Chains A and B, each alone.
Chain A
Amino acid sequence: MARPPPERSLVRDFEPDDETLVRRIVQRDATAFSQLYDRHADLIYSIALRVLADPALAQDAAQDVFLRLWRNPTAYDAARGRFVSWLVSVARNRAVDEVRMRGRRRLREIGENAAVDDPPDWRAEDPQVAVQVQADRLAVRRALAQLPKEQRVALEMAYFSGLTQQEIAEQLHQPLGTIKTRTRLAMKKLRSLLSAEVETPYPV
């Protein structure tokens, strides 16, 4: 089967990369910030929505993430990895903080119906989203889909809910050791699958 054309074709060649835009933001370039916002707003909002399960809270969290970027762009250290990886971590942490602050009150439960089973709003797929982000999304979703369901649930509850292993065990009515084992196995397999994805960024 022929490989699909590289998704780079979806991105206008003249657009600067994220790291370049961040450097311009440091120089207080609002246009660069606007570009970066448009490039990643959907992803950041979606992460917040995934964690908070509340559109209003997700909007607040995403706004906070972007305003932090504007106010302190030097918080991103290019030496430690890609900008978007840093930004999604900030978004996740900000949203999890919100959940914890609200005493883990959720509008819906994370777990059985979470993440990869959610119907994505593909209208949000924006051709201006960076190529690597698209590849990451595809790779991670594929990898998660290959995990046993109980491992995937434990993994996603840990990452997206901010629950401790003990709390996950209580919610799932499983022994703590079982949850820890599932989570570790899930991470191990995810690592392996993602490593393989790196070698074949555009699998058929």
Chain B
Amino acid sequence: MSAAHVDDLIDLEALGALDAEESIFVRAHTADCPRCRAILEDAEGVAARLAFSVPLHHAPRALREGVMGEVAAAPETVGEPRRRSMLDGGMIVRLSRRWGAMAAMILVAPLVGLLAWSLLLQNEVNDLKRENQQIQATQEELVLQALPTSLQAPFTPTESARGAYGTVSWNPDKQVCMVKVKHLPAADAGVSYHVYYQGPVGPRHAGTLEPDEQGSAEIRFDTSRWQGTEYQVWVSSVRPESEPAIVILQATITRN
């Protein structure tokens, strides 16, 4: 059987004349195929009309007495549990008729579970990677700050800082500089934050800060060309409309 339309099987399914495997296949297909589902519903309507063809017989009086007796004794609310055993014949048969569907579910369920589990694991792995990167960065920062050869200077906020602050750490031996900033103002649309330092021939772009929801951001940049003893580092907000960059934090870091 293929995944194409199941026209040849639909009438037989409507009559309940397919074996379990074929029936499952048809039901699975019609669940996803509106065209075949519509044909099946139509076929089921035709099949159901066959029931009207039976020769009529009087229902026994005992049937009425049995039904009405049960109704008189039945719960007054809809859908309450039956007083008779749930494991009556019809129940057993329905269960047995659906063994194929249950078997298919048993087969499919582990696959679905595995897929869901793998997605969960992937998410966990990604989270762990992010955490690991953060921990690594923190460790590097701590190491950088702890090194006796590291130099640090706090940023001095300008009037445009709006509560932002941070530090700049430079290790000439490691030839690396770290800028760490907190509480950067929430950026308006298109505004970005950049770190600059004063090079020998003018300002040099060290990198772009990408603040998180709390306004925290940090970057590391190479300082192998820093041969002097004193450098100015600053953070500017830059608007896209070619407006001049606004300095919000500035620091001077000096090597003895």
A155 to B16, CA, bound (A): 11
A116 within 8 A of partner (CB):
yes
Q: Chain B residues with Cβ under 8 A from A30's Cβ? A: 71-72
Interface of B, secondary structure class, is helix
Q: Which residue of B lies closest to A195 (CB)?
A: B46
Whether B12 lies near A165 (C-beta < 8 A) is yes
Minimum distance in angstroms from B61 CB to a CB of chain A: 10
- Give the number of A-B contacts (CB < 8 Å): 190
For the complex, is A172 an interface residue (Cβ under 8 Å from B)? no
Q: For residue A166, which residue of chain B has the nearest CB?
A: B19
Q: How far is the CB of A169 from chain B (nearest CB, A)?
A: 11
Does A18 sit at the interface, judged by CB under 8 A?
no
- Give complex CA distance A37, B61 in Å: 12
Residue of A nearest to B44 (CB): A89
A191–B69 alpha-carbon span in the complex (Å): 40
Residue A41 CB within 8 A of the other chain: yes
Q: B230 on the interface (CB 8 Å rule)?
A: no
Task: List, in ascending order, chain A residues with CB within 8 A of B90's CB.
Answer: 64, 94, 97-98, 101
Interface residues of A in 95-109 (CB under 8 A from B): 96-98, 100-101
Q: Is B97 an interface residue (CB 8 A)?
A: yes
Q: Is the CB of A62 within 8 A of B63?
A: yes
Chain A 7-47 residues near chain B, CB threshold 8 A: 26, 28, 30, 33-34, 37-38, 41-47
Chain A residues near B15 (CB, 8 Å)? 155, 158-159, 183, 187
Q: Which residues does chain B contribute within 8 Å of A28, judged by CB atoms?
A: 76-78
Evaluate contact between A89 and B76: CB separation under 8 angstroms: no
A55-B57 Cα distance, complex, nearest whole Å: 10
B18, B46, B71: the one contacting A194 at CB < 8 Å is B46
> Is A159 a contact of B52 with CB atoms below 8 Å?
no
A97-B94 contact in complex given A156-B50, A184-B12, A194-B49, C-beta closer than 8 Å: yes
In whole angstroms, how far apart are the Cα atoms of A44 and B64 in the complex?
Answer: 12
In Å, the complex CA distance between A94 and B17 comes to 15
CA distance A50 to B51 in the complex (A): 9
Interchain CB contact under 8 A, B94 and A88: no
Q: Is B3 part of the contact surface with A, judged by Cβ < 8 Å?
A: no
Measured CA separation A4–B15 after assembly (Å): 33
7 pairs, CB–CB < 8 Å, chain A vs chain B: A30-B72, A47-B54, A70-B67, A94-B90, A137-B53, A183-B15, A183-B17
6 more CB-based (< 8 A) A-B contacts, given A70-B67, A166-B19, A180-B12: A33-B71, A67-B70, A67-B82, A101-B96, A159-B47, A184-B8
